[in-house]
Structures are given as C-alpha cells and as structure tokens.
C-alpha cells in the first residue's frame, strides 16, 4: 500500500505539472475539462502501478527470508549455500581418501601375508584386519575378535607359549616376538611369526594392544631345505677330506712302488738297454713324478680352509719361509727377490700364508725369460680397510685375455715340455685369498712381466658363532 500511495502522489504532481505548462491563451473551459479527466486518471493509474510493484517486492523478500540459513542471520550473497556445497565436497573427498588408504593397506598386508590386529584395553573391543582373518582361515564378520578365539586357532602344542607371551606383554613387558603354529578350520597347519606390543598414553597407562601375524610357512620350508643342503654339503666335504687323505697315502703308494721298480730295472739292465729303452724308462719316471705332484697339489687344494685358524700371522716370516723353500730354484736361474717396505701382521693361517707366497713367487721364478735373470718384487700398501699386496716380475707375462682363466684349476697356458706344472698353483692362491675375504687378480703392467695383486682384510673374519 505504501508503494500505491507514493505512486498516487506522483500522479497528482504529474497532472499539476501538465496544467502549469498549459498555454495561457488556451480556452479555460477546455483546460478545466482536461484537468478534471487527467488528474483522476493519473492518480488511479499511479495507484495501480504502485500496488503491483509493492506486491512484487514483498514476494521477493519472502523468498529471501525462506533461504536464510538461520534466524537472525543474513545471506543475501548466497555464501551459506556455497559453504554447504564445499563442505559436502570435502566430506566426499575425505571418504574417498580413507577408502583408498584402507585399500592400499589391505593390499600391502595381502602381498606381505601380514595381518594386523588391535584391542582397546579400556573397552575390551578388538579389531582384526581382513588379512588377519585370512591367515587364520576365518571369514571376516563370522566371529567377534577376542583373544580366546585367536588362541583356539593356535596349535595345541604352541598354545601355552603364545598365551604366556601375551600375558607378559600385557603385564608391562616390552615388545615380544615368537614363531608358532596354527591349525585352520580346514585342518591345514601353518607356521606364523607373531609380535605384540602395548601402546600407552602420556601418563603411561596401557590403552591398546597392537599385534601382527605373518605367514612364514613357505620361508620355513625353504629354510629347512637349505639346512638339509648345508648338512649334505658338510657330508660331501667330509667325504672329500677323506678322499684327500686316501689320495695322499693309498694312491701315492703304488706310484712309489712303480718308481722304485723302474729304478731297479734300470740298474739291472743298465748294460743291455738301448737308447729307446732308456727313453721309455725316462717317460715312466717322469709320468710317475708328475702324477705324484698332481696328487699332492690336489690334496693341498682340497685342504685349504679345512685346517688351521685365524690367528695373527707375520707376513715377513711367511715370505722368509717361502723363500727358504725356493732357494735352490732362485739360485739355479740367478734370480733375485726384493721385499719393499715393512710388511704387516695379518689374521689368517700361517701354513696357508706360506703356501700363498710360495706359489706366487715360485711362478714368478719359473716363468722367466732366458735372456735375463728373474727379478721379483713383493710390496704392500695400506688401503685403510685392507692391505693390497703386489708380486711383480719381469718374466714372460700373462696375456690380458687369459687374466681370469689362469686362476681356474688345471688351467695351463704352456705345454709341459716348456714349463713344468699341474695348473693348480694359482687356483690354490685364489682359494686361500677368497677364504679370508680378499680378492686376487692380474693387474695391467706397463713393462714386461706380470703383476699379481691380492687384497687382505685388516679385521679378522667373523667366527661361525658371530655369523
């Protein structure tokens, strides 16, 4: 109605304005009739327009009042509705994120065959993951997760031990782990690894028991197979060691007999043997000697690591002993062996250390060039965590393509009529060095000859108890 009254007033003002602008020379009668008609018409039209406008405004205000989020608040810009939409979207994102996180955890547990469980120590309510149910062979939701249900699945032979572990953890003990068996509802026996730990609040009060189980049946099976293979390997090594002793005594004895009778035949038939016969006798003696040396080298190779221990060994003493054994060979070829610097004390076996340098220096002396006497240099460098030894010579050298092959057993690069040997010496060196945790190789040499380098750890190797 307010809008209608205002519109009527405006209509009267409009009519008065028209009258004031009417020409003076116009007919007064016509002016009077015009005003009499125009003024009521303007007022009525203005009143109707104002009434319609007022109703429209009133309906809009009523609609806005209905959309208000709460009494006493104003949301003319529509912020409340926008916030409601945003909050709904945020809740949806949270639910989706939670669903994906649970799916990832479930997949991880399934792949690792690791189930988790927790029990509220205040309310007594428990929760088992899907994989926890799967490992126990229980359908999720078929039972209420309780310690009693869990212990029913544990194998009767391990049940008391598992219950004791849980009691110990609950009574204030630290984290405990144990291996035990379970019997699934279908009768299948599985091996599990379980752990349990109590979570406490800021005051130190136990509030939650967290536990996990992991199916280790396959791992235990592989461990048992590995233990069987190790036992078989030990048995084979014992048989090999026995064979080595047999080879050392029983097989060498017939060779000594053959060698002795060949010498007797030579003495008996000395005057009647021709050149060919003497050559044949020489072949027999040489074959017997080479067979005896091969058996001796095989015995040495098989016994590396089987005798002795890891005790402090003075390398200088080991080299001095090896050079004493090689004295005749060094003098025959007019060779010279130089030891540079102070040599350390290592952890190893005295006999194996002497055998190592006996073979390395012996090879350097044997494979020399006839036009110049052999010169062998032994040096040692401190490489912080290990020692680096080098045995260098000026001999015939080793081709680069054979740098790996020479360390194989029975590997020779030259014919027997050129250089003696069985092809076992460097194989023995490699086995000795690697048994003590080192490496051996042929290093590239700028000049003539060969450089054999091997490393030796400073720390003693771990014992069987430590490993």
Tell me, what's the pLDDT at 464?
47
Q: Kindly report the pTM of this predicted structure.
A: 0.50
Tell me, what's the pLDDT at 416?
62
Tell me, what's the pLDDT at 160?
93
Tell me, what's the pLDDT at 11?
58
Query: Which of 362, 367, 349 minimizes the C-alpha distance to 413?
Result: 367
Determine contact, residues 361/379, Cβ cutoff 8 Å: no
* Three-state SS sequence of the chain: CHHHHHHHHHHHHHHHHHHHCCCCCCCHHHHHHHHHHHHHHHHHHHHHHHHHHHHHHHHHHHHHHHCCCCCCCCCCCCHHHHHHHHHHHHHHHHHHHHHHHHHHHHHHHHHHCEEEEEEECCCCCEEECHHHHHHHCCCCCCCCCCHHHHHHHECHHHHHHHHHHHHHHHCCCCCEEEEEEEECCCCCEEEEEEEEEEEECCCCCEEEEEEEEEECHHHHHHHHHHHHHHHHHHHHHHHHHHHHHHHHHHHHHHHHHHHHHHHHHHHHCCCCCCHHHHHHHHHHHHHHHHHHHHHHHHHHHHHCCCCCCCEEEEHHHHHHHHHHHCHHHHHHCCCEEEECCCCCEEEECHHHHHHHHHHHHHHHHHCCCCCCCCEEEEEEEECCCEEEEEEECCCCCCCHHHCCHHHCCCCCCCCCCCCCCCCCHHHHHHHHHHHCCCCEEEECCCCCCCEEEEEEECCCCCCCCCC
Q: Which residues does 231 contact at the CB level (< 8 Å), separation at least 6?
A: none
Order the strands of the 114-120 sheet from edge to edge: 126-128, 114-120, 206-215, 189-200, 176-183
Tell me, what's the pLDDT at 465?
43
Q: Which residues does 160 contact at the CB level (< 8 Å), separation at least 6?
A: none
Bridge partner list, 215:
192
Rounded to whole angstroms, how far apart are CA atoms 52 and 442?
110
Tell me, what's the pLDDT at 394?
87
Tell me, what's the pLDDT at 389?
93
In tens digits, the chain (467 residues) has pLDDT values of 554 555 555 656 665 565 555 555 545 555 555 555 655 665 566 556 656 666 676 676 566 555 555 444 555 555 667 777 777 777 777 777 767 766 666 666 666 678 889 899 888 888 898 888 889 999 888 888 898 999 999 999 999 999 999 988 888 778 899 999 999 999 999 999 999 999 888 888 888 899 999 999 998 999 999 999 999 988 887 787 777 767 666 777 777 788 887 788 777 777 777 777 777 777 787 777 777 777 777 777 766 766 656 788 899 999 998 898 888 888 888 889 999 888 889 888 888 888 899 989 988 888 888 888 889 999 999 888 889 999 998 888 888 887 888 888 777 776 665 667 677 788 888 988 888 889 999 887 777 888 999 999 987 765 544 44
């Amino acid at each position: 109605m307010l809008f209608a009254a205002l519109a009527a007033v405006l209509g009267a003002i409009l009519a008065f304005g028209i009258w004031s602008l009417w020409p003076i020379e116009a007919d007064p009668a016509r002016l009077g009739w015009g005003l009499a008609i125009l003024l009521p018409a303007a007022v009525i039209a203005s009143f109707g327009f104002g009434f319609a406008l007022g109703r429209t405004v009133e309906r809009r205000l009523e609609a806005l009042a209905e959309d208000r989020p709460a009494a006493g608040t104003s949301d003319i810009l529509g912020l409340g509705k926008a916030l409601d939409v945003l909050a709904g979207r945020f809740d949806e994102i949270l639910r989706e994120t939670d669903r994906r996180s649970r799916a990832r955890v479930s997949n991880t547990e399934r792949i690792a065959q690791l189930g988790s469980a927790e029990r509220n120590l205040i309310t007594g309510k428990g929760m088992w993951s899907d994989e926890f149910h799967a490992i126990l062979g229980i359908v999720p939701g078929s039972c209420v997760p309780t310690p009693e249900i869990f212990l029913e699945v544990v194998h009767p032979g391990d049940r008391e031990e598992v219950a004791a572990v849980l009691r110990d953890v609950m009574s204030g003990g630290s984290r405990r782990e144990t291996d035990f068996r379970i019997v699934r509802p279908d009768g299948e026996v599985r091996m599990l690894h379980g752990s349990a730990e109590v979570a406490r609040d800021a005051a130190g009060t136990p509030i939650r028991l967290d536990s996990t189980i992991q199916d280790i049946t396959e791992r235990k099976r592989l461990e048992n197979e590995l233990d069987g293979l190790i036992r078989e390997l030990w048995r084979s090594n014992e048989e090999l060691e026995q064979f080595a002793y047999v080879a050392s005594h029983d097989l060498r004895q017939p060779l000594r007999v053959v060698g002795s009778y060949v010498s007797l035949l030579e003495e008996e038939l000395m005057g009647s043997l021709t050149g060919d016969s003497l050559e044949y006798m020489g072949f027999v003696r040489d074959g017997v000697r080479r067979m005896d040396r091969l058996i001796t080298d095989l015995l040495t190779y098989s016994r590396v690591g089987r005798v002795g221990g890891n005790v402090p060994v003075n390398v200088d003493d080991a080299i001095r002993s090896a050079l004493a054994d090689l004295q005749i060979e060094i003098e025959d070829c007019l060779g010279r062996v130089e030891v540079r610097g102070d040599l350390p004390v290592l952890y190893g076996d005295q006999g194996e250390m002497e055998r190592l340098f006996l073979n390395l220096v012996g090879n350097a002396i044997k494979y020399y060039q006839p036009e110049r006497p052999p010169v062998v240099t032994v040096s040692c460098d401190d490489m912080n965590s290990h020692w680096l030894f080098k045995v260098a010579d000026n001999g015939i050298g080793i081709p680069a393509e054979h740098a790996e092959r020479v360390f194989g057993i029975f590997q020779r690069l030259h014919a027997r009529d050129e250089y003696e040997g069985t092809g076992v010496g460097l194989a023995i060196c490699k086995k000795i060095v690697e048994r003590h945790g080192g490496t051996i190789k042929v290093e590239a040499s700028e000049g003539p000859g060969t450089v054999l380098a091997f490393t030796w750890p400073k720390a003693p190797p771990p014992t069987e108890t430590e490993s």
